[in-house]
Amino acid sequence: MADDRPVPLDEYPVHQVPLSMKHVATGDRNAYDRCIFHVLDHEGRALLIVGLGVYPNVGVIDAYATLRTGDTLHALRASDALGDDRMKLAVGPLRIEVEEPLRRLRLIADDDALSYDLTWTAEFPALWEPHHLQRRGGRLTLEGRRFVQAGGVSGVVRAEGEEFRVTPGSWTGTRDRSWGVRPIPGEEGGRLADEHPTEGFHWLWCPVRFEDRFLMVIVQEDADGYRSLNDATLVRPGRRDRQLGWPQAEISYRSGTRDPVRALVHLGDVRKPLELEAEILTSSPLAVGAGYPPADDWQHGTWRGPGWTDRRTYDLTRQHGLAAYGVTDHAARFRLDGRTGHGIFEHGSFGRHDPSGFADFTSVAP
């Protein structure tokens, strides 16, 4: 018989449906609730990516941290059974402490392979991203609600004898929170998968922190260029958010790849068109170490047994074939309207994409 007693979060007036907070309102096995943090050095020496996720209908909580320094990627991953206390954001040696909601959080890893103790402090209000919907045929496969935020980070990061002192003036931190339904491994194929194969996917997600403003750009396009996500918003404290229209990106790829080296994003404010320049500093493919599809050694939401912890080191000078079919997070230096900022140029382009001239999954830049 299942234990269906109240859980600690039931003490608070936060319920949205007449269920215990132990349960989500959908029976979809792909229900999720998770976060990702990016901590980047302004010179491109290091990129730390940290995430934690809860998958209530498969009973899993997991977390990861990857640190790129030079051509080495250090990865620490942990997974366990999901407990009743949803306010305890910890699994294995990885944890997140919410010290002041929407304002100050602490990121901690206590492991010999990779450790850090960082305080992330918001400098701008959180911004809602567009409601995200995807279907395969008539079936809803993804529905997510997300917000993004940028700020300063302070503390220390250590890996294999190397230590980085993190200060807000020379490092930037961005974060994204999302929840809803999103495919996790184990999804069935069947008729809809056969009749609606993925022809192509093109993605751009850029949270950028400037000294006095925050810019968010997001674009998702199908093989023919049809947009299912589209937004560009400038956040300035004390002023109304400024909508910057329909972003158009010109991306310069490294020859023989789809790896961006720089980009120019045209922002379509009719009063004053702007151009966002992006210069790639260092990169971390999310399919290597961080558990994003199509990773073949571990993916989010998969059950690895109780108390699972895994430590890996990857040589990024070697070819990691699956990385080309996943999203890559690039630490980048940005320029906009005479200002220099820093943030993430997250990009994925695989399969056919007519606007870029890519004909199929084998197409690369000349």
DSSP 2-13: ------GGGGSS
For 191-210, give one letter per residue: b (16+ CB within 10 A) or e.
eeeeeeeeebbbebbbbbbb
pLDDT at 215: 98
The answer as to whether 112 is a domain residue is yes
**What is the SS3 assignment for 34?**
strand
How does strand 248-253 pair with strand 260-267? antiparallel
Please determine, for residue 222, whether its predicted confidence score (pLDDT) is greater than 80.
Answer: yes
Whether 221 is covered by a domain: the verdict is yes
Does the residue 364 lie in any domain? no
C-beta separation of 67 from 73 below 8 A: yes
Closest CA to 300 of 54, 119, 73, 106: 54
% of the chain surpassing 90 pLDDT: 87
Tell me the C-alpha distance between 108 and 65, whole Å: 10
Say if 337 falls within a structural domain: yes
Label residue 283 exposed, middle or buried (CB < 10 Å: 0-12, 13-18, 19+).
buried
Within a domain: 165 = yes
What pLDDT is stored for residue 139 in this prediction? 85
- For residue range 134-162, what is the model confidence (pLDDT) as tens digits? 888 888 888 999 999 999 999 999 998 89
Separation between Cα atoms, residue 197 and residue 195, nearest integer Å? 6
Distance (Å, whole) CA 25 – CA 17: 7
Q: Give dist(CA 30, CA 188) in Å, integer.
A: 12
Provide the residue type at 202 as one letter: H
Global pTM reads: 0.96
Q: Is residue 113 part of a domain?
A: yes
User: Can the peptide bond before residue 294 be classed as cis, meaning omega within 30 degrees of 0?
Assistant: yes
Residue 208 φ/ψ, nearest 5 degrees? -130, 125
Over range 69-95, report the average pLDDT: 97
In a domain, residue 163? The reply is yes
- Per-residue pLDDT band for 1 (boundaries 50, 70, 90) equals very low
Give the CA distances from residue 55 to residues 124, 259, 261, 290, 341, in Å, rounded to whole numbers and listed in that order: 29, 31, 35, 16, 35
Task: Please count the structural domains in the chain.
Answer: 1
Locate 123 and state its tokens: 């400098």
Summarised one tens digit per residue, pLDDT across range 275-327 is 999 999 999 999 999 999 999 999 999 999 999 999 999 999 987 777 778 99
For the chain, the residue count is: 366
Hey, CA dihedral for 148, 152, 155, 160, is it positive or negative? positive
Question: Domain containing 60 — which CATH number?
Answer: 2.40.370.10
Residue at 100 is within a domain:
yes
Mean pLDDT over all residues of the chain?
94
CA distances from 40 to 95, 254, 290 (A): 19, 22, 16
Per the structure, the complete domain to which residue 82 belongs is given by 28-180+197-356
